[in-house]
Structure formats: C-alpha cells, structure tokens
Chains A and B, each alone.
Chain A
Amino acid sequence: MTASDFKAGYLPGIADADVTWHRVNMGSPDAPLRVDMPLISAGQMAALAGRIRCASQAHLKTMQVSEIVRVLDVATARLLDQGDVYRQALERLLPLATGFASEMVRLNLNAYLHTFRALQLQRFVVEDFPNPKLLDEFQPRVKGGWSKAYGPDLLLHVWAGNVPALSLWSFVSGLLVKAGSIGKVSSAEPLFASLYARLLVDIEPRWSDCFAVVWWPSGGASHAEQHAFGLADVVTAYGGNAALQAMQANVPVTTRFLAHGHKLSFGVVSASALCAGTGPQLAHQLALDVARYDQQGCYSPHMVYVQRGGMVSPLEFAQYLTSSLAAVSHKLPQRGLSLEEAGQVSAWCNAYELEAVTNAHVTVMGGHAVWGTVVFSERSLPLCPGPLNRRVLVVAVDSLDDVAALVEQQRDFLQTAGVAASPEELLVLSDGLGRAGVTRVCALGAMTQPAAGWHHDGRFSLLDLVRMVDVEDSAERSGEQFTRYEI
C-alpha cells in the first residue's frame, strides 16, 4: 500500500505495526487526501480501555480542575498560533478532508477556539458547577452533608459528520470532569481529534494514557461498537436519529447514553429590527450564519421568519439576503458538491421555481447559483428542513407570535433560533420559542458560534457526564460519636 498523507487515531500502548490500517480516500481528484484509519481488535480495545481507566484515575482524577484548564488553555493557545505545527497541519488537512474552503476553515476555527481559552473554560465549568471545587473534593452542602462530582473513568465518544473540530466540545467536556476518554472519529473528519490528542500529550505527558482516538466502520451490526459500548461508563454519541437508535440498542442498560441527534435551526426578524440601516446589516449577518460550513451545522438556519410592518419589507430583506449570500461567497466559497448533493439542492430549487411559475406568493432569488438560493414566500409556511448548502426560505409573518406555532411541529429537532428583536420583544418571543422546543436563542451572525457554557440541545455539557456522590448529614453526625476525644 502506498504511504498515506495522514494516519488517523491516537492509540497509547499499541504499536502502529500491530494495527490494521484501513485506507480512506478523501478530498477531490485534484487534491486527494489518503487517510489511514486504525482498525483495532477486540483485545486491543479492551486493553486500551483498561489502560485508560487506570491512567485517568492516576493522572486526571488527581488533578485540580484549574490545573486541567491550564493545560487546555495552552492547547488552545497553540491551536490559535499560526506558527504552530498542529495549527498548520489543521489548516492544511481540514479543507482537503471536508471540502470546505481554506478561508472558511481558518476563520471558523479561530471563532470556535476562542471559546476554549482559560477564561471561557472556567465559565463553562461554573455554568454547570457554581462551585467548581465539587469536581476536586467533597464540598459542604448548605443543608448539611457533603457532595463531590465524579467523572466517569471511561467516557466513549462517537463523533459524526464533517464539521471540522466538532469533536472538541465533548473531548474537552470529558477532560473537565476528569474522565478517561475513547473517541471514535467519523470517516468524514478524522483529523481534528487525532491531532488534538497528540497535542495534549505534547503539552502534558502525564496524560499520554488518559485517552485514545479510534475508529471502526459505522453502520450495520458493528461488533467493535457493541464491544466498545460494553466497556464504557458513559457513551456520548452524535449522528442522525436512525444511527443513534442503532447505537442505543448496543448500549448496556447500566451505561448512560447521551445522544445528540441532527437538529434544525431558523431565524426570526422582528419589524422593530428592520430599519433602513439595520435591515441590510442583519441580512449580512444571516448570510454569514448560512455560509459558515455551508449550513451543515445543527445551529445553521434553514428558514427565516420576517415580520411585516418594518421599514424594510420581508421581500426586501430576502433580496438583501440574496445579495449578501453572493457577496460572502467571494470570501467563503461554497464547497464543491457531489452529483447527489447537487441533485438534492437542485430538486429543492426546481420545486420552488415551478411553484413560482403559478403562485405569485413565491419568488425565487439567486436561481440555481452555486453561491446560494433564497426563496421568498409571502404566505406563512411551517418550518421544514431545506437541502443545506446555502439554500434559505424567507417567510413573511404578520406577528412574532405566529412563529412558535409554525415551528413547534419540529419540536423534536429544534435547536437554535437566531433572533433580531427589541428588548421588549426578546423574552416574550424566546418564551414562546422555548415552549415550542427551541433550546438556544442568539443574535443573527452568532448562530454558528455558541457561547461558552451553552446548554447543548438544552442539556448540561458537564453535569450529564458526572455521578454525584453525597455524604449525608446523618453520616457526619453519626461520625461524631466515634471521635477519639470527648465533645
């Protein structure tokens, strides 16, 4: 076999020669990327799990959270440094592997990484643990007794998709609760987690056996998956609902299973936000949300509800959005689409184009442009997913109150609402959206960059991983009877 461009994985204690390598050809014919994925045996997986459990007890559980944060901060600083070899490898390999434009990867990586610096990480911890020392030692409880949070000895991550560095969230979450980790990379983006693991060990050699990055072929009855699930204390998995369902069937009932399914996000623009000056600006911010990672993220908007009655009409907003999409494509070009993807996008465009022929309420803007299509509907439509790759449906509504009813059918899939509304409207609107199933409200332009310590899909990133241990007041009081001295 010819040499690969990249060997994925991080396998402490296992020599390369003892691993079966599976070649995955990524990239395009013009810019190929040959990646070798590690296929390890059941015995190797079991040995790895044992090794990581021990090391996490010896080297992670003994560290203070603040010390862990310091290591992670150094890692982030190195990844933000253009001169660092790991950063350079990411900038070189990620565009090849995922097809996303280099500039897109570079800018998004920076925006993403800055939420993983020390200050943000501490905020991340305190979001779930107002007293972070709960992770270090037993802390007194107000009503008596003591509590301490224990991270799992072995946390298994199953990452999915091609969004670069998506694995960082759960990788870091695991470390913050002192969990040993085995992460399974996706075939579409095996690079980041592999490099990140090596970088961490470069910074903190004591962590060399505290985690591993592995791979197995997904789908079907995967024995590797079933076996790995049996070894873990907690499994956190990403993917479509069908894939998650198949995984769940393989998770032992005593193992906690945290699933992050595919999600659906949208925008809401209030008439109060649509002045002559702010209208085009908001459209530009929304265009960035759409363009970033070509709408592939769970937080990427598919549709936008625009209220009538502002100085900029919903139709004009759609026109601004169209020209903004064209404009941002110069800096952030759409990645090349496979024939199948192009067919899917085209089918969506065709359907609206044909509807526009007979229905004056529908206008198609941008047509079949590579950089994007905006469909405007004067009639209100319920939220439904689009074909991604910068295709947006802009829908006019009379009132912000109408939006919750239009999105709530998708309750199981809702995630982010990008909102432009006045302070008076914001919480009323957010409450309606929250009741409909939305878990995150942010500004337009910030949709693809969740704040540090966000509740991913409405859950707790760290709390969901730990096990709380309570020493109750009764034990403490009873202990008082057994002092060596008299009270």
Chain B
Amino acid sequence: MLAIDQTACDLLVADVLGFMAKPQVSDEAFNALALRLFAHQFAHNMPFQRFCHSRGKTPRVVKDWRDIPAVPINAFKDLTLSCVAPQTCDRVFMTSGTTRGDVKGSHYHPSMAVYDASMLRNFDQHVMRGLKRVRMGILFPDEHLLPNSSLAHYLGLALASFATPDSAHYLNEEGLQIDLLCDALLDAQCAGEPFFLLGASFSFVHVMDELKARGLTFKLPTDSLLLDTGGFKGQSRDVPVEAFYQQLSATFGVSAERCLNMYGMTELSSQFYDAGNHTTASVKSGPHWIRSRLVEPLTGQAVAPGERGVLAHTDLANYNSVVTILTEDVGVMQDHGFVLLGRAQGTQAKGCSLAVDAFLKASAP
C-alpha cells in the first residue's frame, strides 16, 4: 500500500469540493474525477485493492466510471474501507445493523468538509428552495446522543445552517417531547411562519399516533415542509407509503407536494430527494456529483431500460471510502432519477431443496 501523500490528498479533496461547487458538469469531468478517486482508493486501501483484484478490475483496465467495482454495502461491516488510518478520522458513521444482527458497518470520514459541503449544497437546493432560515423541529436525537449516526449529523447540520434559533430537537434520551412539539407547532401555526419538521419516518408515525390519541391536527402555514427518511425497515410495523403521506398531510396540514422523502445511506456521503409525495412512487434524484445505475445483482451488468434492478451509486463525495457502492435496494429508472421499490427480498426455493433463505427464517429466534 502506498503511503498517503497528504498534499496529493488535500488536492483531491479540493478538486472534489471544486467539482461540487460547479453549477453543472460534463460527463467527461464526472468520469475523470471518478476514475481519479478509484485510483486513489485502489492505491491506499489494501482490502479494497484485494477486492478489485478478485473482480479483475484495476485502475489500469477501468476507463469508465461504470466499470468501477461496486462494493456491496456489507463490505462496510467486513472490511475497513478507508484510505487513511481509521483512528485519524474525524468521524465514523455506523450503520444501524438492521440486516445482520449487531454487526455494524463503519464509514470513515477523515474530515467532514466534503460530507458537509455535499449535504449543505443539496439541502439548500432541494429542501430550502430559496429560504434562508426557517424554524425547524427535529424528530431524531442529536449528535451528542448518537455520535456515530450519519442522520444525526445530517439533521444537526440542517439545524446549524438553515434553522432559526427557536428550532429544537424533539426526541432525546427521555423519548419524544410531544408537549413541547405541540407547543412549537401551535406557535408556528398562530404566527403564520413556515415550520419544517424533519426526522426518521418511524418517528413521524409515533408523533401521529400521539396526536391522534389527543385528537389534535395542525394547519401549518404555507411553505412549511415535512421531511422523513429511513422508511420502515426493521421496524415493528410496516406502514403503506401512500397511507403514510396522506396521514402526514392530514395531520400537519402540509400538502403532499411539501412532504419530502430523503433517501440516504451511512455508506454514502450524499443524499437523494424526491419532489414531494403527492403521487406514489416518487422519483428520487441526487446532485450532480452522484450517479446511480440499476444492475442485475449477480452479474453486475446494467439492466435493460425500464427493468427493475439493484441500485449502485457512484458518489464522488465518498473520496475516502469507496466511490461506488452496491446497495440492496431495488429500483426502476425514470426520467431525472429512480423510483425505489424496496429492499431486495429473499425468495422461496422453487424446488424441494432447503435454501439458505428459508433456513435463515426457520432458525431465526
């Protein structure tokens, strides 16, 4: 493994930041930076290098960003995917470990400069949409409580950069602060000032349950916005998407066009947003420094247009880990983005042989 050249590394970070700051970029520019990041990661991350060798994909042969080996997200659990020593990193974000018990994946960030720039620019464009600061309520614990949560950091960043001083977290170690939240919502409603409520999808469900029990609904002022993220994986109950947004809209008096969903992953450094959930199967899109493909999971080849596939994302903000990841999320492409269809589920064996999936289900506690 090549010793990391700090100057070269700083230059790379500067170039990534410069790329993100541009209003738009060419395919060639995206390709060139993706390949540079791939070469950097190949040179400085031994487990990734071995993975690439096993796939027969090295910087020598990869000339197109689509050929960069997509690293399965499970690799964040099994391998140390960092170009610098993990202990020197500013932050480590960990996955929630919903799919494989208590094994958590780690995403190492040497500094937060790139992550934060990616989040802020994208959030400004897709969520703020011209507003400078707005009153926010966060339905998620803060960064001090969850220092390894990328979502806590993301929401903290939103609060610090785009929120008015009367904004607050309404979920802490004591649980949901429903009384304080109700006061804040009522306050905003009376003042006629927009209110943004952001948080984990399931926290919204809890809030709506509470409000329903109290017989409360709100009519938040124009320009208010609800932003949920995370969906319902691994949660105690599954809520149909359509019903969820209908209920959100009805409970807070915010039109479904202003109910956004953010799709993000600990393994990425950028996020995707839709343009509201007034129609089901909303289209998610990301900023110009992330590109997504749909692949056939076994061969990794791109699926035919219109076909379902598993999402692979090439995120140029992932400069220290791996630039391309393979998710377990199934999607279908649309103009300007993709529609998420959920997580790839195992399937029952068709024959009479025991299959690994059936076996895992049978042996689950």
* A residues apposed to B, CB below 8 Å: 98, 160-163, 166, 188, 238, 240-242, 260, 262-265, 293, 295-298, 300, 302, 337-351, 353-358, 364, 367-368, 370, 384-388, 413
Contacts and interface: CB of A to CB of B under 8 A. Distances in A.
Nearest to B341: A339
Interface in B276-311: 296-300, 308-310
Nearest to B47: A357
Please give me the 3 A-B residue pairs with the lowest Cβ-Cβ distance, nearest first.
A296-B351, A343-B344, A346-B297
B236 interface: no
Central interface residue in A293, A344, A345, by most chain B CB within 10 Å = A344
A6 B41 CA distance: 56
Nearest to A162: B350
A161 B350 CA distance: 5
Nearest to B75: A354
B354 A263 contact: yes
A300 B299 CA distance: 24
A220 B356 CA distance: 23
Given A350-B74, A357-B54, A161 B347 contact: no
A384 B360 CA distance: 10
B5 to A, nearest CB: 25
A340 B47 contact: no
Given A343-B310, A388-B349, A356 B54 contact: yes
Contacts of A344: 346-347, 355-357
Contacts of A340: 344-347
Central interface residue in B328, B345, B351, B362, by most chain A CB within 10 Å = B351
Given A343-B297, A354-B74, 20 more contacts: A188-B350, A240-B349, A262-B349, A262-B352, A263-B352, A297-B351, A297-B352, A339-B308, A340-B345, A342-B299, A344-B355, A344-B356, A346-B297, A350-B326, A367-B54, A384-B359, A385-B353, A385-B358, A386-B355, A387-B357
A366 B8 CA distance: 37
Contacts of B134: none
A160 B352 contact: yes
Contact of B353 (A263, A353, A370): A263
Given A297-B352, A344-B356, A357-B47, A339 B297 contact: yes
A358 B47 contact: yes
A343 B331 CA distance: 13
Contact of A342 (B297, B348, B351): B297
Nearest to B352: A298
26 contacts: A240-B348, A265-B353, A297-B351, A298-B353, A339-B296, A340-B345, A342-B296, A342-B297, A343-B330, A343-B344, A343-B346, A345-B298, A347-B72, A348-B356, A350-B75, A353-B54, A354-B51, A354-B75, A356-B50, A358-B47, A358-B78, A370-B299, A384-B356, A385-B353, A385-B354, A385-B358
A265 B362 CA distance: 18
A404 B352 CA distance: 23
Central interface residue in B75, B78, B297, B326, by most chain A CB within 10 Å = B297
B347 A368 contact: no
A240 B358 contact: yes
Interface residues of B, number: 39
A306 B209 CA distance: 58
Contact of B50 (A260, A357, A368): A357
Nearest to A355: B78
B180 interface: no
Contacts of A355: 78
Contacts of B353: 262-265, 295-298, 300, 302, 385, 388
B51 A387 contact: no
Contacts of A263: 352-354
B79 to A, nearest CB: 6
B132 interface: no
Contacts of A413: 354
B33 to A, nearest CB: 26
A337 B358 CA distance: 17
Contacts of A339: 296-297, 308-310, 330, 344
Nearest to A98: B350
B58 to A, nearest CB: 15
Central interface residue in B75, B344, B352, by most chain A CB within 10 Å = B352
Interface in B60-92: 72, 74-75, 78-79
A161 B74 contact: no
B55 interface: yes
A367 to B, nearest CB: 7
A385 B72 contact: no
Central interface residue in B55, B74, B348, by most chain A CB within 10 Å = B348
B344 to A, nearest CB: 4
Contacts of B358: 240, 262, 385
A368 B298 contact: yes
Nearest to B46: A357
A302 B356 CA distance: 10
Contacts of B298: 337, 342-343, 345-346, 349, 368, 370
A260 B310 contact: no
A166 B47 CA distance: 46
A30 to B, nearest CB: 12
A161 B356 contact: no
Central interface residue in A262, A263, A339, by most chain B CB within 10 Å = A339
B357 A357 contact: no
Contacts of A302: 353
Contacts of A347: 72, 74, 297, 328
A354 B78 contact: yes
Contacts of A350: 72, 74-75, 326
B347 A163 contact: no
Contacts of A296: 349-353
B331 to A, nearest CB: 11
A162 to B, nearest CB: 4
B354 A264 contact: yes
Contacts of B346: 340, 343-344
A293 B297 contact: no
B354 A163 contact: no
Contacts of B309: 339
Contacts of A364: 54
A363 to B, nearest CB: 9
Contacts of A357: 47, 50-51, 54, 78-79
